[in-house]
Amino acid sequence: MSTENGAREENSGRSLFETKAAEGGSVAAAYKVFAFTVLVSIVLIWLYRLTYIPGVGEPGRWVWIGMFVSELLFGFYWIITQSARWNVVQRIPFKDRLSLRYEDKLPDVDIFICTADHVVEPPIMVIDTVLSAMSYNYPPEKLSIYLSDDGGSEFTFYALLEVSDFAKYWLPFCKKFKLEPRAPAVYFKRNILDSHDLVLAQEESKVKKLYEDMASRIETVVEEGGIPKEIKEKHKGFSEWNSLIARNDHQSIVQILIDRRNPNSVDIDGHQLPTLVYLSREKRPQRPHHFKAGSMNALIRVSSKISNAPIILNLDCDMYSNDSDALRDSLCFFMDEKQGHRTSYVQYPQRYHNITKHDIYSSVARVVHQMGLVYGCPVEDIVTGLAIQCRGWRPIYHNPSRYAFLGIAATTLDQSLVQSKRWSEGMFQIFLSKYCPFIYGHGKIKLGAQMGYCIYLLWAPISLGTLCYAVAPSLCLLHGIRIFPEVSSLWFLPFAYVFVAKYAYGLAEALSCGDTLKSWWNSQRIWLFRRTTAYFLAFIDTVIRQLGLSQTTFVLTPKVVDDDVMKRYENEILEFGSSSIMFTIIATIALLNLFSFLLGIRRVVLATESSRAFQQFIPPIILSGLLIMINIPVYQALFFRTDKGRMPSSVLWKSVMIVSLASLMPIY
């Protein structure tokens, strides 16, 4: 006892977490020098554009102006991005100190999990997330898990009912053998029975059989399209679903499936189980439901009547807990005696468990918030985070070595682009609203923090510059119009330096973070695709919405795909396969640069003054060549592939027609 008391006394004055610079002083100083040289080059590019702008009536004047505006956008956006690189820190929590000091005083925690469609987000996937949350290394009598089902599906309710029984076996199994991860489908897929531990092997085999039986029952019910009568009679909750219920027109449904206040709510070892609650909030056609923000606020209202915990963890339904100690890590930031009273929420970077070796869709752009929510846009978590920060609270960003949460990344290009469009559209709406960080945050948060928010809020408008750079130089190359300085000119140096510096630094940063060379190259391709399609269309839709000509919509991205698509994804083959307008844009840019590159080479070879022609057109030829290399998978999908993931012929013909018309149009 004296040893324990001594440890407590020694621990009492020590912080529960440490904040330190992510890089050494010399590295940070070197980066600042590098950034300064890039800034000087950017200013020189602007000066060149202003100095040599073509006169009125000269060919290429408006293209020149468009390039100048694009370079202004790129330059200012680059300056904004420096807010995230200038003073990078990392935080290290000490959960052992937390346990010594506060084990008997740990706060209650409410865990919110949101789902919206049992078809797009299958119940079998949702319950894995629920079970991982129920299995935290945390006192179960202080845990409450709430599932918000915005689809109002009896299949999801049935799956949660099955969980309430299976949890009696899964939780003690996890805690007895200290298993990781604690999402059963992921655990059983990753782990092979350990023949050296007979007790573990026997129990694992038994629990695995229980899980597979449960999963089979859930999948059978979903496939048959109805809950059998004998199952409905076993739980009164099914009476909520009748012939009058519709997805967007039903009463509020709240069912407590496990109540920790009930002494009989125990597992097979007699230990308390966490509270488990199903919620489907009331929906009426004539009332706005505010998407996920409405769902979260409904959860807050319901939980306040049941558990009313001071700490809330918010999870997407496809994002299981990968670390059973993640809650304790987070609490180190909230319960630290000196700084915890200022902490508003903890952010974790979102990671994915189904990323391919070289991350074909560059899925690693996003932060998850733990934190009612502000209405008005599809990315309400960002608005809420900003509002909280502007009230004087401090957010914490924590990026642990063991990923705390793992979700499901998009497995097709269409899914990835649709998701990116939704995010960028919502974020640009914030920038144009009263919540613009430069306005709402003025005088409340530091300028660096305002700029940090705008890195994401400006995804949509920055697409205009990228689209201009992907199209205008190619068109000018086709028409023989110069828009870059000659290679022998000193003005060429800042263009070359910014180009090389951007790619060299990006590559070095990616490799230092553990990426492969191929994954970095894939990210360059997806960066181009997103900016010229998803972000550009998001910009257009946001402008239309600001003019009052449309309303905000929320599009779910499917979490399941067929076997052929999954096989191509695992083999890192880009999935097209539809006549999406986004694919038409991608194909058009790829073909335009291919044609302009070939014609540019011909122009240089056949030119009378070959030396001058070479110097004049080598920059756009290099740019087109780079875009051709990036778009090699697009050419394969257009001309060579025969699988269902190829580009449809309709996309090819539309793209050829657009390129032909663009080539014939005069350049002003």
- Report whether pLDDT(338) > 80: yes
Is the separation of the CB atoms in 11 and 97 below 8 Å? Answer: yes
Strand-pair partners of 397: 347
Which residue carries 């000066």 as its tokens? 47
- Report whether pLDDT(560) > 80: no
- Report whether pLDDT(281) > 80: yes
- Report whether pLDDT(429) > 70: yes
- Report whether pLDDT(95) > 70: yes
- The full DSSP string for 287-319 is S---HHHHHHHHHHHHHHHHT--SEEEEEETT-
Quote the DSSP letter at residue 365. -
Encoding tokens for residue 664? 């014939």
Is 562 one of the annotated active-site residues of the chain? no
Quick count: other Cβ atoms within 10 Å of Cβ 337? 12
pLDDT band of 285, cuts 50, 70, 90: confident
Q: Which residues contact 157 (CB under 8 A, 6 or more apart)?
A: 149, 237, 238, 241, 253, 255, 278, 280
Helix (H, G, I), strand (E, B) or coil at 252: coil
Average the pLDDT over 504-509 and give the result. Answer: 92
219 annotated among ligand-binding-site residues: no
Model pLDDT for residues 81-90, shown as the tens digit of each residue: 999 888 888 8
316 annotated among ligand-binding-site residues: yes
- Report whether pLDDT(609) > 80: no
Helices assigned H by DSSP within 191-266: 198-224, 229-232
Quote the DSSP letter at residue 283. B
User: Strand pairing of 367-369 and 343-349?
Assistant: antiparallel
Identify which has the larger pLDDT, 267 or 288: 267
Residue-level pLDDT at 101: 95
Is the separation of the CB atoms in 306 and 112 below 8 Å? Answer: no
Average the pLDDT over 28-56 and give the result. Answer: 94
150 annotated among ligand-binding-site residues: yes
Quick count: other Cβ atoms within 10 Å of Cβ 454? 22
Which residue carries 């609490």 as its tokens? 331
Spell out the long-range contacts of 503-506 with Cβ–Cβ below 8 A and sequence spacing 24 or more.
505/34
Residue-level pLDDT at 373: 46
Model pLDDT for residues 340-369, shown as the tens digit of each residue: 999 999 999 889 999 999 999 988 764 433
Is the separation of the CB atoms in 103 and 36 below 8 Å? Answer: no
- Which amino acid is it at 573? I
Annotated active-site residue in 149, 359, 381, 541: 381
Nearest to 190 by CA among 178, 200, 199, 179: 179
Sheet holding 394-397, edge to edge: 367-369, 343-349, 394-397
117 annotated among ligand-binding-site residues: no
Quick count: other Cβ atoms within 10 Å of Cβ 517? 11
Helix (H, G, I), strand (E, B) or coil at 142: helix
pTM over 0.75: yes
Model pLDDT for residues 191-215, shown as the tens digit of each residue: 665 557 888 989 999 999 999 999 9
Q: How far is CA 203 from CA 44, 129, 133, 174, in A?
A: 69, 22, 21, 11
Annotated active-site residue in 110, 150, 323, 329: 150
Helices assigned H by DSSP within 142-262: 154-177, 184-190, 198-224, 229-232
pLDDT band of 605, cuts 50, 70, 90: confident
CA-angle at 398, arms to 396 and 401, nearest 5°: 170
Cα–Cα distance measured from residue 455 to residue 585, given in angstroms and rounded to the nearest whole number: 24
Tell me phi and psi for residue 177, to 5 degrees: -105, 5
Is 381 one of the annotated active-site residues of the chain? yes
pLDDT band of 303, cuts 50, 70, 90: very high
pLDDT band of 380, cuts 50, 70, 90: confident
Cα–Cα distance measured from residue 554 to residue 565, given in angstroms and rounded to the nearest whole number: 24
Cα–Cα distance measured from residue 19 to residue 102, given in angstroms and rounded to the nearest whole number: 21
Encoding tokens for residue 509? 């940063």
Residue-level pLDDT at 371: 37
Residue-level pLDDT at 24: 66
Cα–Cα distance measured from residue 668 to residue 666, given in angstroms and rounded to the nearest whole number: 6
Is the separation of the CB atoms in 370 and 347 below 8 Å? Answer: yes
Nearest to 159 by CA among 184, 182, 176: 184
Structural domain boundaries in the chain: 108-309
Model pLDDT for residues 116-127, shown as the tens digit of each residue: 989 999 999 999
Cα–Cα distance measured from residue 137 to residue 405, given in angstroms and rounded to the nearest whole number: 15
Dihedral of alpha carbons 357, 467, 478, 580, sign: positive
Query: Exposure of 15 by Cβ count < 10 A (0-12 exposed, 13-18 middle, 19+ buried)?
Result: middle
Model pLDDT for residues 125-155, shown as the tens digit of each residue: 999 999 999 999 999 999 999 999 999 999 9
Residue-level pLDDT at 216: 97
Residue-level pLDDT at 558: 64
Cα–Cα distance measured from residue 77 to residue 467, given in angstroms and rounded to the nearest whole number: 15
First vs last Cα of the chain: how many Å apart?
Answer: 85
Cα–Cα distance measured from residue 237 to residue 127, given in angstroms and rounded to the nearest whole number: 18
Residue-level pLDDT at 87: 81
Residue-level pLDDT at 465: 97
Quote the DSSP letter at residue 282. -
Quote the DSSP letter at residue 637. I
- The full DSSP string for 5-50 is HHHHHHHHTS-SEEEEESS-HHHHHHHHHHHHHHHHHHHHHHHHHH
User: Is it true that the peptide bond before 181 is cis, omega within 30 degrees of 0?
Assistant: yes
Tell me the angle at which helices 61-81 and 447-457 cross, rounded to the nearest 10 degrees.
130
Quote the DSSP letter at residue 281. -
Element (H, E) at 463: helix 459-479
Tell me phi and psi for residue 324, to 5 degrees: -70, -10
pLDDT band of 668, cuts 50, 70, 90: confident
Mean pLDDT of the chain: 90
What percentage of the chain reaches a pLDDT higher than 90? 72
- Report whether pLDDT(494) > 90: yes
